Amino acid sequence: MMDLKDATLDELRAALAPEVAVNAAFDGWNNHALDAAADSLGVDRDVAHLAFTDGPVAMIDAWFAHIDAAMLARFTPEQLAAMKIRARITALVEARLDLAAPHREALRRALAILAMPQNAARGAKLGWRAADAIWRAAGDTATDYNHYTKRMTLGAVYGSTIVVFLDDESEGQADTRAFLARRIENIMQFERTKAKWLTPPEHHFSLSRFIGRLRYPAV
């Protein structure tokens, strides 16, 4: 464990966030959970509060960032490169769910806070960040509108999967994994359909072009 006596506020947030999540399951995302986390790490409570001046949403933001980083750390680039794209997305999402599983009640409380009207924009931003991290790790390099559609569709899939995950009592979250597999298949179908739509017109069959070539064959 790193020495937090001279840590920056960013380093403090990163260190405190998972500990806050542990306590948030019982105390909620509030200063009680933050104080307990600070005490467990030997951090001055007042300094810990400075790291989260934006309150509960900042705590949740830092915890989600911690989960994203831990998700990425589970795989080497070589491991991901050896998988097909569907397997990469599935493995990354499942890793994120596995990391959240011991803190399901904290996640439930976090999502309730982010669902409040005043926090909706921040919640959408965090969902986008998670989807972006997954697509980037999966090797996506799109910079056109595909960049946005991929993240929007995966964000929707992840959000609906979380709803199932929160109440999943099946062994090893089997029901959640099955639901996720079906939703990712939907993403793959959408990407295949989109690719057909974007195929250059000259690659599609054209009756008028075919007749024209019969009448005026290329020389």
77-117, pLDDT tens digit by residue?
Answer: 999 999 999 999 999 999 999 999 999 999 999 999 999 99
* CA-based nearest residue to 60, from 22, 114, 132: 114
Local confidence band at 219 (pLDDT 50, 70, 90 cut-offs): very low
For 140-164, b/e burial (b = at least 16 CB within 10 A) is beeeeebeeebbebbbebbeebbeb
Nearest to 9 by CA among 45, 46, 40, 50: 50
**pLDDT per residue as tens digits for the range 110-138:** 999 999 999 999 999 999 999 999 999 99
CA separation, residue 89 to residues 38, 133, 138, 174 (Å):
35, 11, 6, 17
213 and 202 in contact (C-beta within 8 Å)?
Answer: no
203 pLDDT band (50/70/90 cuts)? low
Q: Does the pLDDT at position 218 exceed 70? A: no
13-67 pLDDT, tens digit each = 999 999 999 999 999 999 999 999 999 999 999 999 999 999 999 999 999 999 9
**pLDDT of 2 above 90:** no
Report d(CA 34, CA 26) in Å as an integer.
12
Encode pLDDT of 129-165 as tens digits: 999 999 999 999 888 888 998 999 999 999 999 999 9
Q: What is the pLDDT at residue 103?
A: 96
Say how far apart CA 160 and CA 131 lie, in whole Å.
13
Spell out the CATH class of 9-201: mainly alpha
Q: What amino acid is encoded at 177 in this protein?
A: R
Domain range list for the chain: 9-201
How buried is 167 (Cβ within 10 angstroms: 0-12 exposed, 13-18 middle, 19+ buried)?
exposed
Q: Where are the alpha helices (DSSP H) in the chain?
A: 9-27, 31-41, 45-51, 56-73, 77-81, 85-100, 104-114, 120-137, 145-166, 174-197, 207-215
At residue 3, the pLDDT reads 74
Nearest of 108, 64, 71, 73 to residue 90 by alpha carbon: 71
In three-state secondary structure terms, 36 is: helix
- Residue pLDDT, tens place only, 34-45: 999 999 999 999
**Global pTM?**
0.84
pLDDT category of residue 6 using cuts at 50, 70 and 90: confident
**Res. 210 pLDDT band, cuts 50 70 90:** very low
Residue found by looking up tokens 């079906």 in the block: 182
**Number of C-beta neighbours around residue 172 at 10 A:** 10
